[in-house]
Structure 1
Amino acid sequence: MNKMTPQIRFQGFTDDWEERKLGELASFSKGNGYTKNDLVEFGDPIILYGRLYTKYETVIEKVDTFVNKKDKSIISEGSEVIVPASGESSEDISRASVVGKSGIILGGDLNIIKPVNYIDSIFLALTISNGSQQKEMSKRAQGKSVVHLHNSDLKQVNILYPKLEEQQKIGSFFKQLDNTIALHQRMLDLLKEQKKGFLQKMFPKNGAKVPELRFSGFDDDWEERKLIDIAGNISDGDWIEANHIFDTGDYRIVQTGN
């Protein structure tokens, strides 16, 4: 197989990919002026380099960190690719995100890459963050307790890329996957919160004889005994058949007067 093409491609694309230094494909700058100590509850939206570790997204469209804007701030125009300039490990800083909208302040310790018009930003962020490009960036990272990656290092990274149309197709595909993952993550978080709420309400609180929420048809008081008094009646082979409770919609939970 030709090493200048990937193993899987979208139908209709057959041309070899090109390889050039990133320094030939983009202009470079750096964020400045802010650290996490500058964060406030309300103000102008900002991206700090730590977000790429704690809340990584291929495309950053919503920002929930704010500062009071200073003079000479670096403001996004949209579609910039940002790479951390420092981190705890070379793997930490070998990742990139796209700034999805304009008007966001770009804080210190961010390398800012503005690709030429025939390089798609999402594709560039993906290729920097994965495969051979990520490994090359990791090798170029410098330092021990804190590692650094400068624009001068990024310029030397070799980038393989196809024609713009195929780049956009790849970028759109992975962005859709990211959106699907985010949706399922929100659903998972909601289910965890629901479970937490049920656990709090489906067992009696201190001093109560019944829980706040019960299944329909059950209204007797719960009994209270020492565990040692009932544990002897349970053998290792016994199973409590409770795993079916939420498998169907046949159960209805009712709230008591407590």
Structure 2
Amino acid sequence: MFPQNDEKVPRVRFANFEDEWEQYKLGEIASIIGGGTPSTSISEYWGGDIDWYSPAEIGKKIYMSESRKKITELGLKKSSAKVLPVGTVLFTSRAGIGNTAILEKEGSTNQGFQSIVPHINKLDSYFIFSNTHELKRYGEITGAGSTFVEVSGKQMEQMLILLPKFEEQQKIGLFFKQLDDTITLQQSKLDKLKSIKQGLLQKIFI
């Protein structure tokens, strides 16, 4: 559905959308925000109510609403961590580059992220999340040219991306969200069936 190479329109398209997609730098349609870690030796920085994510938490869930660790307001002030708004696409920028998730609740991250905060009416969160494969490919290629395998915020801002108008982005984002919701539901059913099967195997076979 996304245009490739020099194409300016996708091969499959929803009705009533005819305009060519336009090329932007990611930094023109979103803010790229890094993270930070408060000193772990100062207890007053930890155990607060501000969600604080690490890359290990990203990749299995689409939406994130609670982190494993939390920091305090003081910890936030004493580090380079920043509170990110709902709808931010978390993007891991180090080893394991390119894992993504969408913030369902305000939160912060450590320095292993270059998170994408869409500009209002410019970039749809689920649209860019659905393009994770391209974000990941760009991050891996760009990061590989550095001393450490890491992609910076400045590098992410320079990523070129083809975009339709915001209304079409929303339509595409909703379409993929519905597909992802269906996949999640079916996976849950499959997991339950596997659990039932395992229980029966243990009871039937001696």
| More moved, 6-15 vs 143-152 | 143-152
Select the residue among 178, 193, 202 that pairs with 2:204.
Answer: 202
Which amino acid letter does the alignment assign opposite residue 188 of structure 1? Answer: L
1:5-20 equivalent positions in 2, closer than 5 A:
5-20=9-24
1:211-250 equivalent positions in 2, closer than 5 A:
none
1:52-111 Cα shifts (integer Å, max 9, x gaps): 34x153xx1444x42242411533320112211201xxxx41343321222x33233111
Whether the 8 Å contact between 1:120 and 1:164 is mirrored in structure 2 is: yes
Question: How high is the TM-score relative to the length of structure 1?
Answer: 0.64
Specify the alignment match of 1:184 in structure 2: 186
1:52-71 equivalent positions in 2, closer than 5 A:
52-53=58-59, 55-57=60-62, 60-63=63-66, 65-70=67-72, 71=75
Instruction: Determine the C-alpha separation between the residues in 2 that align with 1:183 and 1:145.
Output: 42
State how many pairs are aligned.
Answer: 190
Of the two, which has the highest radius of gyration?
1
% identity of equivalent residues: 30
Question: How high is the TM-score relative to the length of structure 2?
Answer: 0.79
* SS of equivalent to 1:50: helix
Q: CA RMSD in A?
A: 3.0
Structure 2: stretches of 5+ with no match in the other structure: none
Specify the alignment match of 2:176 in structure 1: 174
Whether the 8 Å contact between 1:25 and 1:119 is mirrored in structure 2 is: yes
Specify the alignment match of 1:125 in structure 2: 129
Structure 1: stretches of 5+ with no match in the other structure: 205-258
Whether the 8 Å contact between 2:24 and 2:160 is mirrored in structure 1 is: yes
Distance 1:68 1:26, change over 3 A: closer
Greater percentage in helix: 2
* SS of equivalent to 1:137: helix
Distance 1:111 1:194, change over 3 A: same
Specify the alignment match of 1:81 in structure 2: 89
* SS of equivalent to 1:174: helix
Specify the alignment match of 2:103 in structure 1: 99
Instruction: Determine the C-alpha separation between the residues in 2 that align with 1:144 and 1:119.
Output: 28
Higher relative contact order (CA 8 A, sep 6+): 2
Specify the alignment match of 1:22 in structure 2: 26
